[in-house]
Structure 1
Amino acid sequence: MNTPAARTILALGSNLGESRSTLSDAVAALARHPQMTLVDVSPVARTRPVGGPEQPDYLNLVAAFDTTLDPHALLDHCHDVENRHHRKREVRWGPRTLDVDIITYGTERVDDPDLTIPHPRAAERAFVLQPWAWMDPGAVLDGIPVAELAARAADLPGLERFEGE
């Protein structure tokens, strides 16, 4: 019996190394899994860091995938892609070569020590919401339009489309 695919929204960010190519490579690596189908990718946003130590600006994007991986297997796949891009988990909210967060997984809710879906802070973060709204102007998160949430987000000032290579 085939498991129906769930639409998942993943947020990717990078502020160390060649961030633009890292994001492109990471989307491609996520899509190479046989149980992942890339549906769409947002434009890239340049954003100021939120929380954590002094650090460079981030490049962020959001990607939509259809997947038959269960949420925990998807988390494992995201961590594997992060690790292949030399992700180090040393400082909370610190600089990173790559961060991949699961924002939503269909309509499922997960709340356990390893994984919370929808992502618990996604509704407050313009660096997730604005690229998502650019990609899918009709998107909703917990019944609220993503574009509306983005407009209210404290970190929206300073967020801009990244036009670089």
Structure 2
Amino acid sequence: MSLAYIGLGSNLDDPEGHVRQALRELDGLPLCQLVAHSSLYATRPIGPQDQPDFINAVAALETKLSPLALLDQLQGLEQRHRRQRLRHWGPRTLDLDLLLYNQDTIMRPRLRVPHPHMHERAFVLAPLEELVSAAQLEPIVLYQQSLAEWLKHLEQNGIQRLSDPGVTTTATV
């Protein structure tokens, strides 16, 4: 089994509902099992500010799927949530990003892992650090720095942990 970390985000049509439903659906993907997920976070959008705030989370998923097969499953899940790609960094019903896949580095036209911008985004690193710490998963080092070290250098205004129960280590959401 491989361990993959998935970033989730939504800012349209009941964003919290989309993220919670997607967490349940991740556990139902073929050859996958949800190991744990972070709390939900309310965050400001990156890029165009003329859109609603986002709900974000990170999930840890054990999978027997290859990275590209997992990406296909994630994109299919986005489509079932009526994801439309109308503009770069625009609003969306569901965005699923494959952040990490084991400790692998993948450079393909369709997929780059680690996600090329995750170390620049507090809305990814804050829930990822929470998840790794609370679920006692192996520490993650990105480009020779810990998640905490990356977070120290990022603006965290506008990121609010919601009154979610926190890290869940079962598939129940």
The one of 124, 129, 133 equivalent to 1:133 is: 129
- Structure 2 residue ranges without an equivalent (≥5): 134-138, 166-173
Give the TM-score normalised by the residue count of structure 1. Answer: 0.91
User: How far apart in 1 are the matches of 2:49 and 2:129?
Assistant: 28
- Give the equivalent residue in structure 1 for 2:65: 69
- Give the equivalent residue in structure 1 for 2:3: 7
User: How far apart in 1 are the matches of 2:7 and 2:141?
Assistant: 15
Aligned residue for 1:136, secondary structure, equals helix
2:113 pairs with 1:117 = yes
Q: Cα distance 1:45–1:125, how it changes in 2: closer, same or farther (>3 A)?
A: same
User: How far apart in 2 are the matches of 1:124 and 1:90?
Assistant: 23
- Larger relative contact order (CA 8 Å, sep ≥ 6): 2
Q: CA deviation at 1:53?
A: 4.8
Q: CA deviation at 1:164?
A: 6.9
Paired amino acid for 2:153 = R
User: How far apart in 2 are the matches of 1:53 and 1:133?
Assistant: 26
Matches within 5 A, 1:49-64: 49-64=45-60
Aligned residue for 2:79, secondary structure, equals helix
2:146 pairs with 1:150 = no
| Conserved? CA contact 1:42–1:132, under 8 Å | yes
| Aligned residues between the structures | 160
Q: CA deviation at 1:21?
A: 1.3
Paired amino acid for 1:107 = Q
**Runs ≥4 residues deviating over 2 A:** 137-143
- Give the equivalent residue in structure 2 for 1:26: 22
Identity within the alignment, %: 38
| Conserved? CA contact 1:40–1:65, under 8 Å | yes
Q: CA deviation at 1:141?
A: 2.6
| Conserved? CA contact 2:106–2:112, under 8 Å | yes
- Give the equivalent residue in structure 1 for 2:162: 162
User: How far apart in 2 are the matches of 1:66 and 1:141?
Assistant: 20
